[in-house]
Structure 1
Amino acid sequence: MASSLEENLECPVCREIFKDPVSLSCGHSVCKDCLKRCWKEKEKLCPVCRRRNSKDHFTNFALKKLCEAFIKERGEQQQDEKFEEALKPFKRKLQHFEQVKEKFEQTAKHVRVQAQRTETQIKEQFKKLHQFLEDEEEARMAALRLEERQKSRGIKEKIEALSREMQALSETIKATEEQMRAEEASSLLNYKAAVERIQDHPLPEDPKLASGALIDEAKHLGNLAFNIWHKMKDMVSYTPLTLDPNTANQSLSLSGDLTSVIEGEVKKLPDNPERFISSGKFVQSSEGFDSGTHSWDVQVGDGVGWRLGVFAESARSDIWKGSWVLAWIGGTYSARSGSSTDLDLKKKPQKIRVTLDWDRGKVSFSDPDTNTLIHTFTHKFTEKMFPFFNTWCNKHPLKILPVKVCVTVEQSS
């Protein structure tokens, strides 16, 4: 519609909107300046139909007002378009911010879920510890009460035996005194006989408190906290690594104690910078190492496909540019660091031990059940290395195995 109107308002000579339009006797209209140029060079012919004009031309005020209104409207429209064009980056930025805000809100919701889940697990762990301490306290109090009853019964028996001895002595004394009063006190013979009867009656030994009659406080209180803590190690486990759920690909599921991973349903998780999303079904350890020797055992079982290894911190965006990996893919074992090398294993291991010797620049993989070395990489490490795990099996998880906890008491020098 606007295009058709614009065509009707165009000067047939300059092909622009009329400026001071004039109308000729033939009925055609042109710009005043365009008409002057045409008539200056040629006869007074209409530039459109080439007819001679017998009358003077006149200004077409109606057409002029219409053109001015059209030019004004078009100018305003162009201004609006420029304004809209200028606002486009801001609108795009606002739209992007709205998307980011939505992600942030989802992240805040996820943080609340994480906090609730973590709080529940912490409470469960402390509940177990509290129950252990309560049971331990009850057992130790029961042992104390049992010893108290035993020691009290022993002392009571001693007291009862002593009472019987005292009664017997009292009766002997009383009988002798009565006999002496009944006989002739002046009779020396009777006196001697009475003395002999007393001397013939043996005196009981002095009662003594037996050794161990008291409560063995040292047994109950000595190193009490240490002994409880030492006993507590049997109910806890320690794994050398902990999986970081904030790095897990959305298709992986981690156990509650963060020691095993398996492929599961795709979950809606925050797109945080640490998370492996497009790079693969990876999850890394929360711990990284930049010195020393570190080792961890992983139960791989009969999983259909997995990768284990370490990667350099700088290779997070493209893990294959800085990683040292042992893989089980399509029935073939391979070692990969840049290029891939197939391995010929005589026995399918159920566990894999990964050992990182950062200082010597070695990463080795072995079978801990047979103590068989599988493969060793050598490289000069210059940055922090992170263990990582990759699986696409939904039946057999990769599980970091606990290590034996030992308590050693050393004499201070």
Structure 2
Amino acid sequence: MAAPQLEEDQVTCYICLCRYWNPVTLPCGHSFCGTCIQDSWRSSEKLCPVCRQPFPEDTKLCRNVTLSNLLKALPPVLPAPATAIPRQETGAGHSARCPRHGRSLEFFCRTEGLCVCSACTVHECRHHERALLDVERRMLEDQLNARVEITRQQVTKAESQLQELQRQKNQIESSACTLALLVSSRFSSLLQALEKQRDLTMRNIETAKEQALGQALNEIQRLTGHLEALSQYEHSVQDLLGQADDCVFFQELQQLSEPGESPGPLTAPQWDEVQQLNNVNELLSPLCGLLLEEKPPRVAASAAHAGPVEALGPLPPVPSTVCPLRKKLWQNYRNLTFDPDTANQYLCLSRKDRQVTHHYQAQGPARSGSFELWQVQCTQSFQTGQHYWEVHTSHHSVTLGVAYPKLPRRKEGTHTDNIGRGPYSWGLCLLEDSIQAWHNGKVQRLHGVPGHLLGVDLNLTSGCLKFYSLEPQTQLLHTFYALFSQPLFPVFWLLEGRTLTLCHQPEAKLPPEPQEEASALN
């Protein structure tokens, strides 16, 4: 009986799609080039690229002696089979195929933003950042769901503000009507010579009322438009989440536009009932006692004095040499200081608690409530609004972050810091050759090497925490999305010999006190 003919497909590596070179066999029975499987495991989990069976970290690769000897005995190129039958890929549940290699799309290349196959990870995307397709989609779906939740909160807040404006509008109309009736009845009892003054006063009141109502209507239209934009954004996200095709999902996700920033603080209608009466007093000073012996209810005045929902102070001037993005961030600049009671005993504060240095020897006994880890927390905390601060670092191996008040002070485990190790904090760790984003014990490794000047933008209204590198140019490093439910304190970790400095702006606004934030919420 003639021996069966050996085909080229039977001696081809599943990863590089070339003839085996130094073949090795996994415990699951599949064989690969020794270099191909080692490169694959270095860039992803230890799984079989064919059957997706996981292996422990200490799995050893054994050389396939039989296959190696067979390859030596084969001619350089095997004859092609009479009828080519396409090889079926296993372990992939997606219908789409790679246009370059014809294999199932199992990975997502974050560098190029494309779905790729296992062969792409060896050739075109070998040095790119990538992840399993289903893992990447779950992560992006979680982010989208978080944004939808934030959008719903913005809708609730905007509806509440709209109701407040409607109430103020009704109060203004009622107060203006009451004032008009009172002034009209007073002038009716006067002589014919005073009718001209009465008509003038009524026109002034009507003009002031129309101006106040015009301001209220403008704010109502602005909020209504913002609500429509938020509703359209939510519908778009829901349609995207219902998309079954992965390629269409990622393509439409890149084209998805944000609904725009929050409309910001409301402008209270400028209606002053007392001022209107003062104008009458100036016109009719000899008769002011008669005109003002009875005053209308102070309903509208109390509403006008309540002020806007959120007050926005004047913006600090910025130099013209700063890029537009940084100028915008400076509008919410906060001058922060370190809290000495939280500083680890190896940390020394200076420059009015604006600079911290990690010494190799303890600077004194540990304080009650201080960190056992090499960390320090700021005195200020934030619960509402948008806030921005800048930090200068002397070297790498430092961590910037924010944390809830319940962040543990004691050391747990082998880590020298706990920023981002649990659910109560978010942190960005700057290493010598990489960046790591930490939250709830999960790490996301980022590319790039930041400068020594960094910026942190905390937007509690939209639920965003952004980290920027400001040297040599302003560049976004990473963004966290979360529903912040408690006050957030800026917190820092630094290695021995490192120094951190909180940068101050002379004209920056002071951070609000906790009592002020609580009153703003009410």
TM range (shorter): 0.3 to 0.5
TM-score, length of structure 1 as denominator length: 0.37
Which entry has the higher C-alpha Rg, 1 or 2? Answer: 1
TM-score by length of 2: 0.30
* Structure (1 or 2) with the greater helix fraction: 1
Higher RCO, 1 or 2 (CA under 8 Å, sep at least 6)? 1
